Structure 1
């Protein structure tokens, strides 16, 4: 069943919208004549973005189920309904197994996975009632291919991809569209503030501008396209991985060795 949705006139929530991809998504939705409510935990930056773009905003921690409920309730009050939920908020998690604390795991799991689950859980009932709705869940190419040196990020982004797949399989024939956004390097504060080895890794196939990624999101919604891979190389890597899993893992091990040779200070972080 196709769930192609014209963006014009739709009511949209975008989380993680104060900066980067989320802000660019908001701009693209507004250019397409949609109505948007933006959400972020950074209140100062969120207010600035909301003022610049003339949209309503909600300051919230999306890892909290109660906060997601409040986002949905308030957005319904602002817009009279919800057609598209872009669950875009995410946090980085550079660090290996031994350097990632329990607190780190809980935080990254809450934002990168549970926020998607809570958004779907509490928005689906009204979307099913109106027999129409769309979720855009931001994951990462790391969710498809793993990110060297980032245990928490890799695991949670893989879980985000898996949940988006499940959501599409389960509700795609009931009027609900789902897209999963899986970019590599994008020019955001998350990438620019990352350690040198991480920036080198995510920039291997080039750094994209947030506006270009946002444009791909709009196109995907209007085609009911599940996987959004702004970096086309990701699709080739997926094929290589599927064709010879062991060879692919060997290649990733070689890449890790090369990176650590160039950035020896990262050895402790990668453990």
Structure 2
């Protein structure tokens, strides 16, 4: 992919992975529209990358329509959409412990927001015969996240949607990529913004910049599946080769994490895994 002079929208870019991606794309010469529910956070990122800040709740179609229209008016046609907005509230007592509202919000943020934005951007991309659709999903979309079934299920759907976009529109010049990191040091997992990971001997936690760097490499190499953590591919193969064994292993991991007393938050659960 050629970055210089191109345009991009990055959602959920006020902090964490989205902020790192917006700054990385800008450093490659792209003009970036930075979107976040928190306008002040979006503005902070935009100031760091010379971008345009737009407040947007990606659960709302009208917000997405305004985001795309504002970005197009300021930057021209959009060459790359990076749907990064996401959240994890946890469901540590099991899938049924999460409310319908949590499940619906997960679906709207992790799946429908990307689909709705694609509906708005695809016609012009197809007419030009070029465009890139990126979804920052999660390794939870390839494996399973203990303690947050709504997150895992909707991230699986996000990976599937990305595959469908790649298959159905690839011959029209549209590239699709999905980014599936394991643990990343972001506020979502209880890390302070800008925290340096690796404070435990067995820590596999990467920083947001590591994910952004992996994305840039993946776009240059025109890869569909982008795995910032090398071991994620190995885990994915093990699951595919023997699903029963994988599920048994995950049950053991959960038992170990819950052995003494149930963790109350995802951040606490993360520390035990």
Q: What TM-score do you get using the length of structure 1 for normalisation? A: 0.90
Stretch of structure 1 that moved more, 48-57 or 107-116: 48-57
RMSD: 2.2
State the Cα distance separating 1:9 from its structure 2 match.
1.5
Check whether the contact 2:179–2:227 (CA below 8 A) recurs between aligned residues: yes
Check whether the contact 1:7–1:218 (CA below 8 A) recurs between aligned residues: no
State the Cα distance separating 1:119 from its structure 2 match.
1.3
| Residue correspondence of structure 1 range 43-192 to structure 2 within 5 A | 43-95=39-91, 96-192=94-190
Q: How many residues align?
A: 259
| Residue correspondence of structure 1 range 220-231 to structure 2 within 5 A | 220-231=218-229
State the Cα distance separating 1:65 from its structure 2 match.
1.7
Query: Gapped runs of 5+ residues in structure 2?
Result: none
Q: Match of 2:35, SS? A: strand
Q: Match of 2:87, SS? A: coil
- Please give the alpha-carbon distance, in whole angstroms, between the structure 1 residues aligned to 2:2 and 2:29: 10
Q: Which structure exhibits the higher relative contact order, with contacts defined as CA atoms closer than 8 Å and separated by 6 or more residues?
A: 1
- Please give the alpha-carbon distance, in whole angstroms, between the structure 2 residues aligned to 1:184 and 1:246: 22
Q: Match of 2:258, SS? A: helix
State the Cα distance separating 1:265 from its structure 2 match.
4.1
State the Cα distance separating 1:112 from its structure 2 match.
1.0
Query: Gapped runs of 5+ residues in structure 1?
Result: none
Check whether the contact 1:128–1:174 (CA below 8 A) recurs between aligned residues: yes
- Please give the alpha-carbon distance, in whole angstroms, between the structure 1 residues aligned to 2:184 and 2:206: 5
Q: Match of 1:235, SS? A: helix
Go from structure 1 to structure 2 and tell me whether the alpha carbon gap of 1:110 and 1:223 turns closer, same or farther (over 3 Å shift).
same
What's the CA shift string for 1:46-97, capped at 9, x where partnerless? 2222223321111011111222121111111011110000011011131022
Q: What TM-score do you get using the length of structure 2 for normalisation? A: 0.90
State the Cα distance separating 1:204 from its structure 2 match.
6.5
Go from structure 1 to structure 2 and tell me whether the alpha carbon gap of 1:187 and 1:265 turns closer, same or farther (over 3 Å shift).
closer
